[in-house]
């Protein structure tokens, strides 16, 4: 049957996530320190044997056998050593039982504070060892308690830490027992132990949730190129495909929107817009400003500033509520965007470049362009006059893709 001491050790190991050997070593170290304080000196060499079942401790003074003694607390002669070990010779270590009568209870009192301190240090070391290799990962947690703006969470290895107010999603309510997914940004080692920087606001939380819900993102077939986020309100995610056969937006949205909805549900119904990434700044900016329809874009590559001209009725959509749409689009693309009325566009700026090659058509994905090239349709002039029925079926072009092609040609016709 398990003794009370062994049961207490097992409970401590389970609650703190510390190994049994670590706890036993900590208790031994505390008893050594207590003995030196109560019965010995700081310089003496003390060893402790601890029965990890009964909790009985035996204290030994350890001395080295020498020819000539220079420190009697650490050394002894061969003649003295033979009293404890008949075969003793120079260089041997002799362990002498110096356990005081009834020392168990005295040691427990003397060592209590040292044990508590060492266990706390061991607990912090365990926390650092567990999380130091898990930076930039999604962490499962459960809300332990809520005290005003302070939310304490239990992480998946029974460690409790604080979710700071500035890392909480605005408007999100927390309650004890609630399960949350958090983003572990960094683990910092401090004098008071490791500090875990966890967040519900970090943009990469969205990416990690997408990896969890969308197999193509997890496998790398669909790449998350950029994220712009206003936590709890709206988020724009730019995606691209590493496989021309895979539609990155369709993969992320899922059938009837189930995949992106699962991510939104985890983020307190934060709206997520999935857009197609493009290496061409004008196409990328048009996609980022959706659902607004852009009439014309003038780019300044040196300052990475773009003038966006829209019809009067599209201006509110382009700007968004309190400037949200244009602000997120600017963060997503890395361009400073100025929304202007179409009436402000000068005749010189409105002159359009003649588009001859299908690769220069706006709004067509690389996958669609490859299909057209495979069908030997490489010039815009070849597509003029063709309707959707003429294009559907060519090299596997779908009805939706045919609509996009006809619209793109019409734009430059």
Domain residues of the chain, as ranges? 4-126, 135-199, 203-350, 358-412
- State residue 353's pLDDT score: 45
In DSSP terms, which residues pair with 60 in a beta bridge? 47, 97
CA 85 to chain centre: 59
- State residue 166's pLDDT score: 93
pTM over 0.85: no
Q: ω into residue 291 within 30 of 0, thus cis?
A: yes
- State residue 38's pLDDT score: 77
Q: Choose the CATH number for 358-412 among 1.10.150, 1.10.10, 1.10.760, 2.60.40.
A: 1.10.150
Q: Which of left, alpha, beta for 278 (phi over 0: left; psi -120 to 50: alpha)?
A: beta
CA 141 – CA 406 distance, rounded (Å): 50
Q: Can you tell me whether residue 140 is helix, strand or coil?
A: strand
Burial 265-291 (b: 16+ CB within 10 A, else e): ebbeebebbbbbbbeebbbbbbbbbbe
Which CATH class for the 135-199 domain?
mainly beta
The CATH number of domain 4-126 is 1.10.3720.10: no
Residue 247's alpha-carbon distances to 241, 242, 251, 264, 389, in angstroms, are 7, 10, 6, 20, 22
> Domain 203-350, what architecture?
2-Layer Sandwich (3.30)
pLDDT along the chain (413 residues), means of 10: 70 74 81 81 86 79 89 88 89 88 62 70 75 88 90 80 92 92 88 83 95 94 96 95 90 92 93 93 92 88 90 92 94 94 72 61 82 83 83 85 86 67
What would the two tokens of residue 22 be?
A: 């670590």
């Amino acid at each position: 049957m398990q003794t009370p001491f062994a049961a207490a050790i097992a409970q401590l190991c389970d609650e703190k996530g510390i190994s049994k050997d670590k706890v036993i070593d900590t208790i031994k170290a505390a008893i050594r320190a207590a003995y030196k304080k109560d019965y010995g000196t700081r310089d003496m060499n003390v060893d402790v044997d601890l029965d990890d079942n009964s909790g009985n401790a035996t204290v030994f003074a350890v001395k080295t056998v020498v020819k000539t003694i220079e420190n009697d607390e650490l050394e002894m002669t061969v003649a003295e050593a033979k009293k404890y070990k008949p075969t003793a010779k120079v260089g041997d270590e002799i362990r002498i039982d110096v356990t005081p009568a009834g020392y168990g209870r005295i040691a427990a009192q003397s060592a209590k504070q040292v044990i508590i301190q060492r266990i706390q240090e061991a607990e912090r070391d365990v926390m650092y060892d567990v999380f130091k290799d898990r930076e930039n990962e999604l962490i499962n947690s459960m809300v332990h308690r809520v005290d005003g703006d302070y939310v304490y969470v239990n992480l998946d290895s029974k460690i409790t830490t604080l979710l700071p107010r500035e890392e909480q999603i605005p408007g999100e309510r927390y309650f004890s027992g609630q399960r949350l997914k958090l983003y572990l940004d960094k683990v910092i080692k401090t004098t008071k132990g490791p500090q875990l920087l966890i967040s519900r606001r970090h943009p990469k939380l969205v990416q990690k949730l997408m990896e969890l819900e969308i197999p193509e993102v997890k496998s790398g077939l669909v790449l998350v190129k950029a994220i712009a986020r206003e936590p709890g309100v709206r988020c724009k995610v730019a995606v691209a495909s590493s496989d021309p056969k895979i539609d990155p937006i369709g993969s992320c949205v899922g059938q009837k929107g189930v995949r992106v909805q699962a991510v939104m549900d985890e983020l307190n119904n934060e709206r997520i817009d999935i857009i197609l990434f493009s290496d061409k700044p004008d196409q990328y900016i048009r996609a980022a400003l959706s659902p607004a329809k852009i009439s014309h874009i003038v780019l300044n590559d040196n300052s990475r500033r773009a003038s966006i001209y829209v019809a009067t009725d599209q201006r509110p959509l382009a700007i968004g509520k309190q400037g949200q749409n244009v602000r997120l689009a600017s963060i997503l693309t890395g361009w400073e965007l100025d929304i202007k009325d179409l009436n402000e566009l000068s005749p010189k700026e409105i002159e359009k470049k003649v588009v001859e090659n299908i690769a220069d058509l706006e709004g067509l994905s690389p996958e669609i362009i490859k299909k057209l090239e495979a069908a030997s349709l490489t010039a815009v002039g070849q597509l003029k006059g063709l309707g959707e029925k003429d294009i559907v079926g060519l090299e596997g072009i779908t009805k939706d893709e045919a609509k996009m092609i006809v619209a793109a040609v019409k734009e430059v016709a």
